[in-house]
Structure formats: C-alpha cells, structure tokens
C-alpha cells in the first residue's frame, strides 16, 4: 500500500468514517468514479490533481499526505487496534464463542472493547487461528486500516452481502461466470 493510501485510510478511520463509505468519500473528494477511488485506497499513486484534492479535503499539507507516516506518528497500539477491529467484525452471539475459545470471560472482551484493558499478546496465535489470519502479524500490520475486510470470515460476509445486493437481472447475467468461478455443487 502506498504512503498516500495508508495515510488516507488512517485519516478516515481516525475520523470515525465507516469503512463501507471510504471509497465513496474518496470519489467525492477527487471527483472520480468508484473504481478509481478503490484503486487509490488500495495503493495506486494519485495524480497531482487528486493529491491536491485529497489534501484539501483532509486539511493537510500535500507533503504530509504523501510522505509522512501518520499512523506511526500517532503512537497507536497496533495490537490493541487490530484486536478491537477483529472484535467489531463479530456477529451477534459470537462474543461468547470467542471468549470461550480464548479462555477469557465475556466481561474481559467487554473491557477490551471499552479500552479498559489491553488484550494480552498471548492471545495472538489463537486470534489469528480463529479469524484465519495465518500470515498476519497483529503487532505490526494495521488490519483496522484495510479498505476491505482483512480476515477470511469478513471476506466471506462481504462476498455474501454483495451477492445479496445484486439485482435479479444482473445476477442472471453474472450467474454463469460465478458458477464457473465458484464451482457447481
């Protein structure tokens, strides 16, 4: 991911903007279509005009957006933020299952969510296993800044949500390709 994309995702996350609207917001700021905004969020280098528009929208000097490491400068605990992000992806009723799998109480998860306690790093391997993040270092990789779901469970949900939102006519057209791609039962 480019420095601009990294900083862009960090700033929108810090502002509390829901991840689902990041691409839409970037598209508005740079006057581009959704495809281009997704490219920018995933690391494509912005044009001079796009960089200027982004910096203006975010109230930053262009140089800071382009060269600074705003996440590192923030002093955030990446481990804690990643755990909070993973907890936020859980569906109703899954907190208890996760607590049991980690060998903690649901109250402990609640304290993590409220930032009353930082999760112990001894839980990292189990969290990576549960969320199917086998090659991810939760201490150094900011999953919480990913413009798309970073965990396998989240990616499955994202895919299901997108399929559910496709109108009938479009699904009819896409179905043969999806069937070939995903395989028939």
Question: For 120-174, how does the pLDDT look when each residue is reduced to its tens digit (9 = 90+)?
Answer: 999 999 999 998 888 889 999 999 998 887 777 777 877 888 888 888 898 888 8
User: What local confidence, expressed as pLDDT, does residue 120 receive?
Assistant: 93
Distance CA 25, CA 36 (A): 12
pLDDT digits (tens, 9 = 90+) for 71-107: 999 999 999 999 999 998 888 888 999 999 999 999 9
Distance CA 104, CA 33 (A): 45
Q: Is the pLDDT of residue 1 over 80?
A: no
Confidence of residue 184 (pLDDT cuts 50, 70, 90): low
Distance CA 154, CA 131 (A): 9
List the end-to-end C-alpha distance of the chain, in Å, as a whole number: 37
User: What local confidence, expressed as pLDDT, does residue 39 receive?
Assistant: 94
pLDDT digits (tens, 9 = 90+) for 35-53: 999 999 999 999 999 999 9
Mean pLDDT on 24-29: 96
Q: Of 7, 37, 10, nearest to 25 (Cα)?
A: 37
26-58: b or e for each residue (b if 16 or more CB lie within 10 Å)?
Answer: bbebbebeeebbbbbbeebebeeebbebbbeeb
CATH (residue range 78-145): 1.10.260
pLDDT digits (tens, 9 = 90+) for 54-67: 999 999 999 999 99
Distance CA 26, CA 7 (A): 13
CATH (residue range 3-74): 1.10.260.40
The answer to whether residues 37 and 23 touch, using CB atoms and an 8 Å cutoff, is yes
């Amino acid at each position: 991911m480019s420095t601009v994309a990294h900083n862009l995702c960090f700033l929108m996350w810090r502002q509390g903007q829901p991840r689902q609207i990041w691409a839409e917001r970037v598209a508005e700021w740079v006057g581009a279509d959704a495809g281009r905004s997704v490219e920018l969020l995933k690391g494509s280098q912005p044009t001079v005009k796009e960089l200027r528009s982004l910096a203006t929208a975010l109230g930053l000097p262009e140089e800071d957006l382009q060269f600074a490491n705003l996440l590192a400068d923030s002093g955030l605990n990446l481990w804690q933020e990643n755990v909070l992000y993973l907890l936020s992806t859980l569906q109703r009723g899954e907190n208890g299952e996760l607590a049991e799998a980690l060998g903690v109480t649901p109250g402990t998860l609640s304290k993590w969510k409220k930032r009353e306690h930082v999760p112990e790093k001894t839980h990292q391997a189990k969290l990576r296993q549960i969320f199917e993040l086998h090659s991810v270092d939760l201490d150094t990789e900011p999953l919480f800044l990913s413009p798309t779901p970073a965990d396998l469970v989240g990616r499955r949900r994202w895919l299901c949500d997108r399929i559910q939102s496709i109108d009938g006519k479009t699904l009819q057209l896409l179905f043969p390709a999806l069937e070939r791609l995903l395989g028939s039962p």
